[in-house]
Amino acid sequence: MSKTKIYTNVLPLDVIALKLGNHLQKNNCEVSYCADEENKTWCFIQTRKSENLKLNEKCINIGIQGTRDECKITIDSGKWGENIIDISNPPTLIRYDGINATGKRSLVPIITERHIWKYLDKNV
């Protein structure tokens, strides 16, 4: 089940995504990232634990959308390596480094999502 929070007066979206991606990598997660480099109004992160990568298809999808005034962050679970319709408007298909992301639901440990929310609450 996806969860969304809205933050106001935040860091630039690309800075939030970079900080979160670095934090996840420090915690033994593999991270895939794509963003709207031109307008910087959205970015997407997909992450999964680095252990047993071939067996671990479950992942967490993090969508960041908005501006510095108001930012909407959505976190849900999915399956690594499948297609996703991105959070930009209008929807388009994302491909990043030959890896597709996914919007399908899957069971991912809730503690990981809670960990991400705690990190975002402190650092956004």
Complete DSSP assignment for 52-95: TTTT--EEEEEEEEE-SSEEEEEEEEEETTS--B-SSSS--B--
Domain boundaries, the chain: 3-123
pTM > 0.85: no
Q: Is the pLDDT of residue 93 over 80?
A: no
Give the whole-angstrom CA distance, residue 51 versus residue 39.
35
Task: Give the tens place of pLDDT for each residue, 35-81.
Answer: 888 888 999 888 887 765 566 678 889 999 999 899 999 998 887 76
Domain with residues 3-123, CATH architecture: 2-Layer Sandwich (3.30)
